[in-house]
Amino acid sequence: MARLIRTEKEVEGRYTEQWIVVEEDPLDRWPEGPLEVVGRPAARVDGLQRARGEARYTADLALPGMLHAAVLRSPHAHARVRRLDFAPALEAPGVRAAVGPGDCDVLVEEAGYQGAPVAALAADTFSEAQAALARVGVEWEVLEPLLDPDEAVSRGELIEEASRYERGDVERGLAEADVVVEAEYRTATVLHNALETHQAVCEWEGDELTVYISTQWIWGVRKDVAKRLGLPPDKVRVVCEYMGGGFGAKIDPGDHTYLAAELARRTGRPVRCALTRREENLASGNRHATVQRLRAGAKADGTLTALEGEFTMAVGWDGFVSSTAGPMKMLYGCENVRTVELGAKLTTGPNDAFRAPGFVEGTFGLERLLDELAAKLELDPLELRRRNGADADPVDGRPFSAKNLAECYRRAEPHWARRGEVRARSEGPWRRGVGLASQVWYGGGGPPSYAWVRVGSDGRATVLTAMQDIGTGTRTAMAQIAAEELGLPLERLSVSLGDSSRGPYAAISAGSSTTPSMGPAVRAAAADAARQIVEIAAQRFEVEERVLSLRGGRVVSEDGKSWALEDVTGLLEDGQILGKGSRGPNPAGMRVLTFGVQVAEVAVDVETGEVRVERIAAIHDVGRVVNPLGASSQVEGGIIQGIGHTLSEQRLLDPGSGRALTVTLDAYKLPTIADVPEIVTELLDVPDGHLTSLGSKGLGEPPIIPTAAAIANAIRDATGADVRSLPITREEMLRALREARERAYAL
């Protein structure tokens, strides 16, 4: 019977309450450790399609009669359109339609950042559309840019009201401290640069709109597009079969989707709107820069007595303020904490979620501060962290559903113990050292999410759910979970996803939530199908249901008899067995979080300021690991992105005009294969005993969180220099070395 319950839902730290319907009785939890399929390394079920170039991405879609849009974007950081004349552009070869402010509400008259969309047109080919853009008559009134976040705050230019948090008494905590450290840390604006740019193809059939889109959330796009266009949601179909990376910036439909929909409506033809790489680096979102003014007080034994932070985020023209104070509130059991988060409204491109938004930046500041504190206390940095562990959520006292950070620290010891040997390998100008940093993040997922499982008479099964695989390997994880429950080898499973008209509602692929949200629904659907198979077999072979189970593609009886699955399902000929499942609630009154620690080894050339990362050991606890092979890839990918924003990536603006200088991939420095250190991944792989029948949490974000701080702390270990600004350019490295030398002379 359906039970209606109220439960808490979390995405990237934003909690909401909602009603859900729970139909099934909870399933037994699987035992710990590798099972038949779950917990064992599996190559991706769609690996061949992707590797052979057969997978069709949104970028590869060519519909009959399809037109191509090009978008006129502001060349100025801040400007107003005085006059817009489409007439010459409409006469250009191939042009079919043009739209400006007033025609589509994503087009603006006041451009608040370079790249803000002002007008768009559709033509037979993309090059014709681009050529016609140059013929649009446009007159700009250039306005004053505002680029400095501190200046914006002092002028009161905030995106939203300041967010304040306080527990205990920070003044008392500081007064009781034996040691106080304070420092200012900065992180740069960094760009997602998924290799498939933001794009959509929109096609109208009558009053029904199909949106083919590179997205992290099929159902979110469906809901937003329907709402904005005034359509019933079931008139909007959203398709994303293969997706070329998102990292947080492809959650909303985006301006391009609304432009494609409007141009398609006007022309009666399908329209593609795809950002170029340069547009991608101006107008598709970014991780906002931060300025963090932090203070910590501690007793001589290392007990934290106070943590205080003022965080200013360079949000841009719009976008949300990422929770940069999160780690300071959540990571340590300090009684006295006060934070304020200020989101500066600037004439720069909008902030968007980027792999653990806020926590990457905030962990850099907090975990650097902890190492500066450890140095002053002459305490081992690992020991300092151990002494300040939180047994319950420090924010509201809730018990954790599971917390194994202490075990992560224990597993980090052998890596941490390499310090002496690593330092001893310093030679000439190259100084070597080891640093570590801890990680806290969400990642529990939540309801609602649904899946169906279809078993055919040939004994093969298909998982159907309208989720998306953005490259994380969730298609494979879902196949593994269903295979485990059905007792089938992985090769007898298919997964059909990526189309809102081909399966039920599914969760967002963000916030490290896909596997913990979808996995339990898929398992429940497979269990529903498995139950029906057992019931059919019991009747056909005249045995009791309770002695039957599904294993190795067979229905197995306790007395040793067994029948091939297809001998049972084959009875049905064209008939199918249909299972359905849904995601149940998260544990009431508990805090579901992920934890981990990374240990970095670096080499620093103290003459040139060159920094090389030589080794990173990553130890994370994300509950049960469904696919250890895919999981290690997630960890490596997170760390490599982390190395990028630690050492080389930053969006640079011309300080006078506010125009971006880093819009191409030769100017914006992504890590290459030559920048990758040795990476050692250790996942605890202990199911969270309170979280769903699966006990799995998400792994997309945790690995990127501590990387920058671990590297910067290793630099301190190697050289005694405190780097406080990301990326750690040679200038920053040499500045920190100079400061350390001056500090040494002064003593």
Partner 1 sequence: MTELLVNGGRHEVHGSVLTTLAEVLRGHLGLTGTKVACGEGHCGACTVLLDGAPALACITLLEAVGEREVTTIEGLRDHPLVDAFVRADAVQCGFCTPGQIVSAAALVRETPAPTREQVRHAMAGNLCRCGTYPKIEEAISTWQG
Binding site for partner 1 (CB under 8 A): 43-44, 46-57, 59-60, 62, 127, 192-197, 242-245, 247, 276-277, 470-473, 629-630, 632-633, 636-641, 664-666, 670-674, 676, 679
Say which residues have a Cβ less than 8 Å from residue 307's Cβ, sequence separation at least 6.
170, 294, 295, 296, 328, 332, 334, 336, 337, 338, 366
Is the torsion defined by CA of 442, 446, 450, 452 positive or negative? positive
Distance of alpha carbon 348 from alpha carbon 286, whole angstroms = 10
**Residue placing its CB nearer to partner 1 in the complex, 608 or 672:** 672
For partner 1, which is the closer residue by CB, 536 or 639?
Answer: 639
Which residues are registered as beta bridge partners of 564?
Answer: 554
What minimum distance in Å lies between the beta carbon of 63 and partner 1? Answer: 13
User: Alpha-carbon distance 223 to 207, whole Å?
Assistant: 16
Q: Return the number of the residue (186 or 355) whose C-beta is nearest partner 1.
A: 355
- CB closer to partner 1, 590 vs 640: 640
**Residue 427 CB: number of other CB atoms within 10 A?**
9
Q: Considering only CA atoms, which of 630, 646, 650 is closest in space to residue 598?
A: 646
Q: Taking a C-beta distance cutoff of 8 angstroms, is the pair 103, 70 a contact?
A: no
Nearer to partner 1, 84 or 249 (CB): 249
Q: Do 356 and 620 touch, CB atoms closer than 8 A?
A: no
Question: Whole-number minimum distance, CB 666 to partner 1, in Å?
Answer: 5
When the beta carbons of 47 and 570 are compared against partner 1, the nearer one is 47
CA–CA distance, 22 with 212 (Å, rounded to integer): 32
Length of the chain: 747
Backbone angles phi, psi at 138, to 5 degrees: -140, 135
Q: Compute the 3-state secondary structure of the chain and give helix, strand, coil in percent, each to the nearest 5.
A: 30, 30, 40
Token pair in block for residue 379: 């305490």
Shortest Å, Cβ 279 to partner 1: 11
Torsion angle defined by CA atoms of residues 518, 522, 524 and 529, in that order, rounded to the nearest 10 degrees = 170
Minimum separation from the CB atom of position 563 to partner 1 (A): 33
- Cβ atoms of 573 and 420 closer than 8 Å: no
CB of 714 to partner 1, least distance (A): 19
Q: How far is the CB of 489 from partner 1 (least distance, A)?
A: 17
Considering beta carbons, is residue 277 or 735 the nearer one to partner 1? Answer: 277
Tokens of 515: 């596997």
Q: Which residues contact 520 (CB under 8 A, 6 or more apart)?
A: 449, 581, 583, 584, 692, 693, 694
Burial class of residue 482, CB neighbours in 10 A (0-12, 13-18, 19+): buried
Minimum distance from CB of 315 to partner 1 (Å)?
23
Distance in Å, CB of 446 to partner 1, minimum? 25
> Which token pair is 189?
């604006």
In the complex, what is the shortest distance from the CB of residue 392 to partner 1, in angstroms, rounded to a whole number? 34
Residue 272 CB, nearest approach to partner 1 (Å) = 12
Q: Which is nearer to partner 1, 340 or 665 (CB)?
A: 665
- Which one, 18 or 672, has the nearer CB to partner 1? 672
Torsion of CA 734, 738, 741, 743, to 10 degrees: -130
Write down the least CB distance from residue 664 to partner 1, Å: 6
Please choose, from the candidates 48, 53, 131, the residue with its C-alpha nearest in 3D space to the C-alpha of residue 476: 48
Cβ nearer to partner 1, comparing 519 with 703: 703
Q: Which is nearer to partner 1, 66 or 740 (CB)?
A: 66
